[in-house]
Structure 1
Amino acid sequence: MPMAADEIQSMILAAIPGARIEITDLAGDGDHYAARVVSESFRGLPRVRQHQRVYEALGGRMGGVLHALQLTTATPA
């Protein structure tokens, strides 16, 4: 069963409070999403670690319930 965009957003927000999150369903199938996550907590972290924090927030659902996530992370301007 595919994951809903609001579920992805809720999980990320629970792990990274205060983050601004934009989720886009790329294929309309609930399996292929793009996410942009902007958080002050990313400041000073390498991009790889920023992405790891988002994947950790998803609790192992990547590659299973959530097939693909195109991820962009940033700090606030």
Structure 2
Amino acid sequence: MAMAAHEIEAMIVAAIPDAHVEITDLAGDGDHYAARVVSESFRGVPRVRQHQAVYAALGGRMGGVLHALQLTTAAPDKEL
């Protein structure tokens, strides 16, 4: 059973409340997504830790219900 994009976004925002999340269904199958997650909480945090925070937000669904997630994380631009 695949996950819907809005479910992925909701789980990430629930764990990282200030996150701006953009989800793209890469294959149109609800199984292969790209996510861009921007959060102030990522500022100064190594990229691997940022990704770990997003994966933790998904509660172990990676590799099971959610087959593939191309992940990009960042802190917001200071100009924004």
With the shorter chain as reference, the TM-score category is over 0.9
CA displacement at 1:67 relative to structure 2: 0.1
The runs of 5 or more residues in structure 1 that have no matched partner are none
Q: Distance in 1 between matches of 2:45 and 2:18?
A: 17
Deviation string for 1:31-74 (max 9, x for gaps)? 00000000000011100000000000000000000000000000
Q: Does 1:40 align with 2:54?
A: no
1:19 aligns with 2:19: yes
- In 2, Cα distance between equivalents of 1:9 and 1:35: 9
CA radius of gyration, larger in: 2
Shift of 1:18: 1.2
1:76 aligns with 2:66: no
Query: How far apart in 1 are the matches of 2:29 and 2:65?
Result: 12
TM-score of the two chains, using structure 1 as the length reference? 0.99
Q: May I ask how many residue pairs the two structures share in their alignment? A: 77
Residue type at the aligned position of 1:36: R
The answer to whether residue 7 in structure 2 is matched with residue 7 in structure 1 is: yes
Percentage of matched positions with identical amino acids: 83
Give the aligned CA root-mean-square deviation in angstroms. 0.3
Using the size of structure 2 for normalisation, the TM-score is 0.95
Gaps of 5+ in 2: none
